[in-house]
Amino acid sequence: MDTTAIEYDTKHLDHLGIMAGICHEIGLVETIDAMLPTPSERKVSCGQVTLAMTLNGLGFTG
């Protein structure tokens, strides 16, 4: 029987990581940006703001 110790590296992935991944996968930011004009004086697009507000509303803090 092999008793070699195996080292594991774990990372904590909450629902926010899953939600961010799903939003990226479905192209949420790009879809919103395609529907709404983004004036040149804005630093972030409407899609980026929507994604940020969504993740913030779910509890993302940093």
Query: Residue 1: pLDDT band by 50, 70, 90 thresholds?
Result: low
Helix axes 28-35, 15-26, angle to 10 degrees: 50
What is the per-residue pLDDT across 6-62, written as a single tens digit (0 to 9) for each? 887 776 666 777 888 899 999 999 999 999 987 888 899 999 999 999 988 887 565
pTM, full prediction: 0.67
Tally of helices (H runs) and strands (E runs) in the chain: 3, 0
The two tokens of residue 55 are 């993740």
Look at the alpha carbons of 58, 34, 43, 29 in this order and tell me if their dihedral is positive or negative: positive
- Give the C-alpha separation, 34 to 45, whole Å: 10
